[in-house]
Amino acid sequence: MHDEDRVALVTGGTRGIGLGIARKLTEAGFTVAITGRRAAEQVQPVLQQLRELEPRSIYVQADVASAVDRKQLLETIEAQLGRLDVLVNNAGIAPRVRADVLEASEESFDELIATNLRGPYFLTQSVAAWMIRQPAKQRSVINISSVSATVASVNRGDYCISKAGIAMATKLWAVRLAEYGIGVYEVRPGIIETDMTEGVKGKYDALIEGGILLEKRWGTPADIGTAVSMLARGELPYATGAVLVLDGGLTLARL
């Protein structure tokens, strides 16, 4: 099966890391479905970019935190594209307010967990059932987490916990889906230049200049997209459950 026969779903694929992933998958020949919470007319320029490479690419407005939206999302993909070979769980949000864990609200915690952890967990459940019913040569689930899965940031504890949960979810799904030949992977980005990190750009510019990274630059959405494309195409065999850390050396232990 050629990659141009295969369909990938990238949640949160209209901007930032998700768009970088969608572009790389489309360049590799995948037909890509992207999702987001914005109305379709607001993402037409992005969709047109993808359609220049693959005319069948689609956008589906959906909030992964909503069970109703997740169901409608998959029904739309099946109706329009007929199959699904790759799920990229990328959609995620940062806290609306970066609050110390001594002061953070339950409302913020619930919102982060619903979008960053519960949504992708149960979307994976539904997609896995579909993939099992519709066998293919190469199928995969790729979770986009963060170095925050292991690096504590006390002013956004809810975000860290949601990403730590994604790390464990990757292990659980890798174990459960192995018998069906469905690979499950985690890609763990570090400091990536997106609209989500724009508000802390000055802080991280100074840290990068001060040597916090081994590779002295911001990461890019294209960096993450390249790794996801490799996994989606099956170019990292014998590695289900693997964690790819793309952080420029940020979390490498040093003396």
Catalytically annotated residues: 159
Nearest Cα to Cα of residue 38 among 68, 70, 60? 60
**What are the backbone angles phi and psi of residue 185, rounded to the nearest 5°?**
-140, 160
Which pairs count as long-range contacts for 148-155, CB under 8 Å and 24+ apart, including other chains? 149/188, 150/251, 151/250, 151/251, 154/100, 154/101, 155/98, 155/99, 155/100, 155/101
Q: How many of the other CB atoms lie within 10 Å of CB of 17?
A: 29
Contact 126, 66 (CB under 8 A): no
